[in-house]
């Protein structure tokens, strides 16, 4: 069976058996095809489609451009499917629809499907199989959507997909930190900063990961980079939380999920896998206990405040 492989992340590409499909060189044909792919499985009125792709043209002219681009698209795809019309394209007088189909592979569809598989699963509760699904999504994302296209619809979709991509990176980074996989977590943090240099929580998490990995110098340098980037990009200083972490690292007294001085030795390659798994369990349990203790302390403070208020009212 013929499989049309379409890539919209980065540079627009349409191939069959790694051979580029000809006849799609026009930028507007590419844009029309990309729009239908990004909004697949839904019918589009011709007039609205024409107004979206050719927004600067008059209605009569835009509908003419749509007919021309659609003819070029059908011609190019017909060469791929010589036995009949493309099985995923439905066209009538008023509506146009592109359907998901087994003969059509789309990187955006693969990316969104991988994201949806783990959408409601907290990072710390993900298992290895679920993390592989998210790593697959990261691999599919080869760049921003349709680089070089600046139409309004494309800018919106580009921002949406990039936001999803960064969310996946953050989830995988949290997953790696919870399992003390510092090297992988650091690599993911660097990827996030390529998308958003001023992501303070990423800088802060990198500081922790470097420290956990035993590289205190790199952790301190990450803070300096964070401070410089925030000043340059936003004209602000690091938050108190980030500054406090920096001071604790300087003093070599960071309270992490486990004793930072013993972690590198305990999870060295020489350690048996059973001991490593036990360490991860105890580390997660320790963090859970700390969170519970913090909540209990906050509850005690609230109750004490309420009691004092009640006494004052009774005294009156």
CATH of the domain at 92: 1.10.10.10
| The predicted structure's pLDDT at residue 267 | 38
Asked whether residue 136 is assigned to any structural domain, the reply reads no
| The predicted structure's pLDDT at residue 206 | 97
Asked whether residue 135 is assigned to any structural domain, the reply reads no
At residue 27, does pLDDT exceed 80?
yes
| The predicted structure's pLDDT at residue 123 | 77
C-alpha 5/C-alpha 188 separation (Å) is 27
- How many domains are contained in the chain? 2
Helix residue spans in 179-272 (DSSP H): 182-195, 200-212, 216-233, 240-250, 263-266
Asked whether residue 8 is assigned to any structural domain, the reply reads yes
Of 77, 105, 133, which residue sits at a domain end? 105
Mean pLDDT lowest among 9-23, 43-57, 216-230, 302-316: 302-316
| The predicted structure's pLDDT at residue 86 | 85
Asked whether residue 185 is assigned to any structural domain, the reply reads no
Asked whether residue 165 is assigned to any structural domain, the reply reads no
| The predicted structure's pLDDT at residue 115 | 86
Asked whether residue 95 is assigned to any structural domain, the reply reads yes
C-alpha 88/C-alpha 71 separation (Å) is 16
Of 105, 134, 167, which residue sits at a domain end? 105
Average pLDDT (7-28) is 95
Q: What's the domain range around 79?
A: 4-105
Asked whether residue 306 is assigned to any structural domain, the reply reads no
Q: Provide the phi-psi class of 305: left if phi over 0, else alpha when psi is between -120 and 50, else beta.
A: alpha
| The predicted structure's pLDDT at residue 36 | 97
Of 52, 86, 105, which residue sits at a domain end? 105
Strand ranges for the chain from DSSP E? 4-7, 13-16, 19-20, 44-45, 89-91, 95-98, 104-106
Average pLDDT (241-265) is 68
Asked whether residue 289 is assigned to any structural domain, the reply reads no
Query: What radius of gyration do the chain's Cα atoms show?
Result: 27
User: What is the percentage of the chain residues whose pLDDT exceeds 90?
Assistant: 67
């Amino acid at each position: 069976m013929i499989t049309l492989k379409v890539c919209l992340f980065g540079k627009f590409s349409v191939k069959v058996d790694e051979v580029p499909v000809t006849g799609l060189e026009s930028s507007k044909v590419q844009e029309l095809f990309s729009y239908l792919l990004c909004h697949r499985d839904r019918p589009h009125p011709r007039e609205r489609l024409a107004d979206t792709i050719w927004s600067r043209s008059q209605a009569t002219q835009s509908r003419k451009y749509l007919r021309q681009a659609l003819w070029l698209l059908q011609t190019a795809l017909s060469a791929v499917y010589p036995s009949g019309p493309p099985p995923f394209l439905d066209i009538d007088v008023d509506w146009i629809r592109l359907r998901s189909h087994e003969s059509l592979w789309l990187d955006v569809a693969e990316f969104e499907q991988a994201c949806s598989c783990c959408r409601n699963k907290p990072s710390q509760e993900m298992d290895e199989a679920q993390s592989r699904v998210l790593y697959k999504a990261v691999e599919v994302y080869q760049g921003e959507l349709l680089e070089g296209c600046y139409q309004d619809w494309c800018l919106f979709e580009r921002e949406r997909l990039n936001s999803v991509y960064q969310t996946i990176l953050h989830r995988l980074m949290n997953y790696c930190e919870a399992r003390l996989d510092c090297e992988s977590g650091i690599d993911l943090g660097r990827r996030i900063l390529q998308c958003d240099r001023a992501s303070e929580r990423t800088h802060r998490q990198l500081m922790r990961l470097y420290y956990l990995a035993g590289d205190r110098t790199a952790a301190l340098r990450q803070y300096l980079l964070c401070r410089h980037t925030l000043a340059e990009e936003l004209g602000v200083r690091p938050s108190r939380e980030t500054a406090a972490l920096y001071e604790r690292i300087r003093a070599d007294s960071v309270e992490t999920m486990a004793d930072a001085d013993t972690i590198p030795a305990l999870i060295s390659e020489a350690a048996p896998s059973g001991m490593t798994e036990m360490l991860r369990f105890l580390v997660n349990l320790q963090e859970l206990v700390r969170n519970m203790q913090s909540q209990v302390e906050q509850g005690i403070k609230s109750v004490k405040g309420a009691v004092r208020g009640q006494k004052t009212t009774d005294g009156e």
